[in-house]
């Protein structure tokens, strides 16, 4: 069984240095187990619920990309820390009425799963004269409550968005099943990798599915073993969140 570890809250530079070093070491070890170059894994710190002061500490250690699950919170932080020139990745479900904000400040959106949002984003990006890197979210666990396209919907979805010039598809994203059973968790990651392999042959020219964004604090080592190129890690770096995961994702207890 996977453990549910306790994540102590990091509040000093020293603690952040230690947490990042530990996670980096675990990334390296996971890569070594499967013969991968650790340089091919991007660590994306997920800073939801983390206040500005602590994000600034992490930025001072050389990290410039942050993942946020909620648009409002992400935008507030982006505004407050404009001086740092950070790269904000919106990694949570996007409602159509929030599209215009994302088009303004985000560098990356990892949870695309609807044509409507894709079209609205493209139109707003045009107005802002910006481009946005995008991951298509896939529901690999089959849980009804989860966001994301069903795997069999991906081929048609790619065709439907291929003329949208301002969104740049870079890869696929998934949340594994929240389960203590590592076998079930691994299956989700395997599915995402296989889906990418199936799609690679028939992609519109300007699209890339190279990046696999999968793995969080509790399961990133399994994800790396299965090919993750971006791991989204919050609690293991910053400390446990006060609110349960059900606050961020539907259908989780
Ligand atoms: C919060 C969040 C993460 C990080 O989860 P942790 O358990 O804090 O590592 C990853 N992906 C998404 C989409 C999230 O909302």
> Does the pLDDT value for residue 2 go beyond 60?
no
Express each pLDDT in 122-138 by its tens digit: 999 999 999 999 999 99
pTM, rounded to two decimals: 0.95
pLDDT value for 251 = 52
> Does the pLDDT value for residue 249 go beyond 80?
no
Q: Measured from the CA of 235, which atom of ligand 1 is nearest? A: 8
How confident is residue 253, by pLDDT bands cut at 50, 70 and 90? very low
pLDDT value for 137 = 98
Dist CA 248 CA 239 (whole Å): 16
Q: What is the mean pLDDT of the chain?
A: 94
Dist CA 206 CA 204 (whole Å): 6
CA 118 – ligand 1 centroid, Å: 23
CA 109 – ligand 1 centroid, Å: 14
Q: Measured from the CA of 69, which atom of ligand 1 is nearest? A: 15
Q: Measured from the CA of 46, which atom of ligand 1 is nearest? A: 4
Q: Measured from the CA of 233, which atom of ligand 1 is nearest? A: 9
CA 224 – ligand 1 centroid, Å: 16
CA 106 – ligand 1 centroid, Å: 17
pLDDT value for 218 = 95
Question: Per-residue pLDDT averaged across 103-111, rounded?
Answer: 98
> Does the pLDDT value for residue 16 go beyond 70?
yes
Q: Are 70 and 48 in contact (CB under 8 A)?
A: yes
Express each pLDDT in 56-70 by its tens digit: 999 999 999 999 999
Q: Ligand 1: residues whose CB is within 6 Å?
A: 46, 48, 69, 91-92, 175, 216-218, 232-236, 248
Exposure of 172 in the CB half-sphere (CA atoms within 13 A): 34
Mutation test residue for ligand 1: of 110, 188, 222, 232, the one with most atoms within 8 Å of CB: 232
Express each pLDDT in 159-216 by its tens digit: 999 999 999 999 999 999 988 899 999 999 999 999 999 999 889 988 999 999 999 9
Express each pLDDT in 187-199 by its tens digit: 999 999 999 999 9
């Amino acid at each position: 069984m996977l453990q549910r570890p306790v994540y102590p809250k990091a509040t000093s530079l020293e603690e952040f240095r230690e947490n990042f070093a530990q996670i980096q070491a675990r990334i390296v070890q996971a890569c070594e187990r499967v013969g991968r170059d650790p340089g091919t894994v991007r660590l994306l710190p997920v800073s939801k619920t983390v206040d500005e002061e602590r994000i600034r500490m992490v930025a001072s250690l050389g990290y410039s990309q942050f993942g946020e699950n909620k648009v409002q919170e992400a935008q507030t932080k982006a505004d407050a820390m404009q001086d740092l020139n950070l790269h904000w990745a919106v990694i949570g479900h996007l409602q159509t009425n929030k599209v215009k904000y994302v088009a303004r400040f985000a560098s990356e959106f990892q949870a695309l799963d609807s044509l409507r949002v894709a079209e609205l984003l493209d139109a707003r990006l045009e107005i802002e004269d910006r481009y946005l890197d995008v991951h298509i979210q896939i529901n690999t666990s089959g849980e009804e409550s989860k966001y994301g396209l069903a795997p069999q919907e991906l081929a048609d979805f790619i065709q439907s968005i291929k003329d949208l010039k301002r969104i740049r598809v870079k890869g696929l994203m998934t949340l594994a099943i929240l389960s203590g059973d590592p076998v079930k968790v691994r299956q989700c990651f395997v599915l995402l990798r296989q889906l990418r392999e199936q799609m690679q042959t028939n992609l519109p020219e300007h699209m890339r599915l190279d990046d696999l964004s999968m793995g969080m604090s509790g399961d990133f080592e399994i994800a790396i073993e299965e090919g993750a190129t971006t791991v989204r890690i919050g609690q293991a770096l910053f400390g446990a969140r006060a609110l349960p995961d059900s606050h961020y994702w539907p259908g989780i207890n």
